[in-house]
Structure 1
């Protein structure tokens, strides 16, 4: 994958994330945050199921052409559980907190990813990366405390 491709996909991710936050906040009016998160997850699951069926990936898994190791299943499961917990907390926070502040705190996930990638995945980071982490932390603080 070339640099332009992953950058374009990353920007689409950010745009989609903004939609999740703004539409999610609007959809929480008078709705329990757990119920809203559950409904959103069902809608996402249906879309993902359609994509997996449409691209033949689900059929390949069912037929045995694609096999997942126990390790892959473990980490896919852990990622799913992490995502569910994250979104339950995120939508509960959105229901009671300022949208920009909640979103800013959510972006601390980048700081955790940066640290965990260094510690658990042994990915090296340059001084620029560490400087960027400090700028990110300062930005999150400024955005979250903007009241």
Structure 2
């Protein structure tokens, strides 16, 4: 089932790039990020309340809070830089370069989480990196 969710994530990430490119055309990237973040915030809390998980908030531990806050900060910075890139770059070039995050994730997962670097993972990462490099070069 995770593969299905991952494909949906990729589809919505593609839509994000297209909608964001159109949306940032005539507005400051920081303001655009704030608007987008507000929508995400409302959507996420709406899902939490609709699914009946709001009561679990009190059971979230300190370590979880720290890492979710760090993740949120990283997400916010990622979105800010992404919107700046979309304002001046082509969505069809910005989005693939942004996907270098997959390569960074592979490396960080190996270094921090001790996830294995199999030949398949290395090859996939190299192909993603090569594709991103092709998109950078004009």
Q: TM-score, normalised by structure 2?
A: 0.96
* Cα-to-partner distance string for 1:35-59 (whole Å, 9 max, x where unaligned): 0110010011111111000111113
Where in structure 2 are there 5+ consecutive unaligned residues?
none
Q: Which runs of 5+ in 1 are unaligned?
A: none
Structure with higher Rg: it is 1
- How far the C-alpha of 1:108 sits from its partner, in A, is 0.5
Aligned residue for 2:51?
55
Please report how far the alpha carbon of residue 60 of structure 1 lies from its aligned counterpart in structure 2 after TM superposition: 3.2
Residues 29-108 of structure 1 aligned to structure 2 (within 5 Å):
29-61=25-57, 64=58, 67-108=59-100
Q: Compute the displacement of 1:109 (Å).
A: 0.3
Report what 1:132 is aligned to.
Answer: 124
User: Which ranges of 4 or more aligned residues in structure 1 deviate by more than 2 Å?
Assistant: none
* Cα distance in 2 between the residues matched to 1:144 and 1:9: 29
Partner residue, 1:114: 106
RMSD: 1.0
Corresponding residue for residue 21 of structure 1: 17
Please, what TM-score do these two structures have when normalized by structure 1? 0.90
Q: 1:21·1:99 contact (CA, 8 Å) conserved in 2?
A: yes
